[in-house]
Amino acid sequence: MKKTKLTLKDVAAQLGVSTATISNAFNRPDQLSQAKREEILSQCKKIGYSGPNKAAQILRKGTSNIVALVLADSIAYMVSDPVASTFIKGVSSALQEQGKHLLLYAGDSKSILDVVDFVDGFICYGAPRNNKLIDELAVSPKPVVTVDFDIDNKPSINIDNEDAAYQVASSALNEGDSVAILGLRLIDSPSTCRVYDSPLIGVESSISHRRLDGYMRAAKEKNVAISKERIWHLPESGRSFARQAAKEVLTSSPRPNVVLCMSDIIALELLHMALEMGINVPLDMKITGFDGIEEAERTRPRLTTVCQSSAEKGVQAAQALLNDMEEKTMLPFELREGETI
């Protein structure tokens, strides 16, 4: 058992050199002769000194190799969402390659102040549920990269959600259609409900808003009207919310013959429920999704959706952060025609 943890000072004393030299041996090889360096390193190993204390380094150097990933919602929810977890996957592999550590941060937290002093930067995936965080991130002294939404003057990674939504809606819609939209985080309600005249929440650059805009533009072009009582709000993309919304939509009258869903999870639950009710998809009801998750390829009929690479978004976000990129990046997406329209 060690008596007490060795410090740089102890080691310096024992080896009869200055603390600076020990420090340099570990951090700046060019500052001392190779012979001395090797000698020091081997001595350190021998006496059980495993290198400079990281906590002290964080304070002194002002850098920790920790990157905070600010998730839109609670960690608990985000980690179980296939799209989000694929994103996390991308982020983590890019970070690991550079020896950076990943701190998961919930978007419903009170404030980023409890970590801002020691993290090296923030990757922000989706507009945090707590709007205050956005304001704090906007003035953060540490670098910030946003994904799936924007903050002025901060780099971001996005796809053109408006265009993607427009395209998928355009290929699904025809004049005379009766349309419903299953949207995400549109209004301020903790449960699934119709939007009606509730004010829309969140930043204008959020994916929900952009997608809604795209849907509406396509609808206008095709001359179909979508009233706000045909737009549903889901607080998140979980299966239980999705099932609830699906049920409401399927039992609403008149039953829509086109349903535009803002995520594949939502679309898939709707699809399953519709099929169970004996509704013919796409003859009686067309369904579109969003994201292009793996599961959407395995269903019969295959879901028509918009594919984007969440893993790639993660990688790009990490790289943007680590390389101090300043631009806002637009990633490609791809319409995947399945058999649900």
Partner DNA sequence: TATCATAGGTTAAACGTTTAAGGTAATGTT
Partner DNA sequence: AACATTACCTTAAACGTTTAACCTATGATA
Which CB atom, from 34 or from 251, has the smaller least distance to DNA? 34
Contacts of 96 (CB under 8 A, 6+ apart): none
Instruction: Write down the least CB distance from residue 23 to a copy of itself, Å.
Output: 15
Which CB atom, from 114 or from 339, has the smaller least distance to DNA? 114
Residues 250, 279: Cα–Cα separation, whole Å? 9
Instruction: Please identify which residue in 75, 200, 201, 277 interacts with a copy of itself, judged by CB under 8 A.
Output: 75
Only one residue has tokens 């533009």, namely 217
Instruction: Please identify which residue in 13, 47, 55, 330 interacts with DNA, judged by CB under 7 A.
Output: 55
CA angle 214, 219, 221 (to 5 degrees): 100
13 binds, among a copy of itself, DNA, none (CB under 5 to 8 A by kind): none
Alpha-carbon torsion, ordered 23, 26, 31, 32, to 10 deg: 100
DSSP state letter for 270: H
Q: Is 55 in the site for a copy of itself (CB under 8 A)?
A: yes
Site for DNA in 9-38 (CB under 7 A): 9, 16-21, 23-24, 26-28, 31-33, 35-36
Q: Is 57 in the site for DNA (CB under 7 A)?
A: yes
Instruction: Please identify which residue in 86, 161, 208, 305 interacts with a copy of itself, judged by CB under 8 A.
Output: 86
Residue 158 buriedness (CB in 10 A; 0-12 / 13-18 / 19+): buried
SS3 content of the chain, % helix, strand, coil (to 5): 45, 15, 40
340 binds, among DNA, a copy of itself, none (CB under 5 to 8 A by kind): none
Q: Is 138 in the site for DNA (CB under 7 A)?
A: no
Instruction: Please identify which residue in 18, 45, 117, 332 interacts with a copy of itself, judged by CB under 8 A.
Output: 117
Q: Is 93 in the site for a copy of itself (CB under 8 A)?
A: yes
Residues 205, 316: Cα–Cα separation, whole Å? 19
Residues 36, 111: Cα–Cα separation, whole Å? 47
Q: Is 80 in the site for a copy of itself (CB under 8 A)?
A: yes
Q: Provide the sign of the torsion angle of the four alpha carbons 341, 159, 103, 202, taken in this order.
A: negative
By rule CB under 8 A, what count of residues binds a copy of itself? 44
Which CB atom, from 59 or from 104, has the smaller least distance to DNA? 59
Instruction: Write down the least CB distance from residue 142 to DNA, Å.
Output: 13
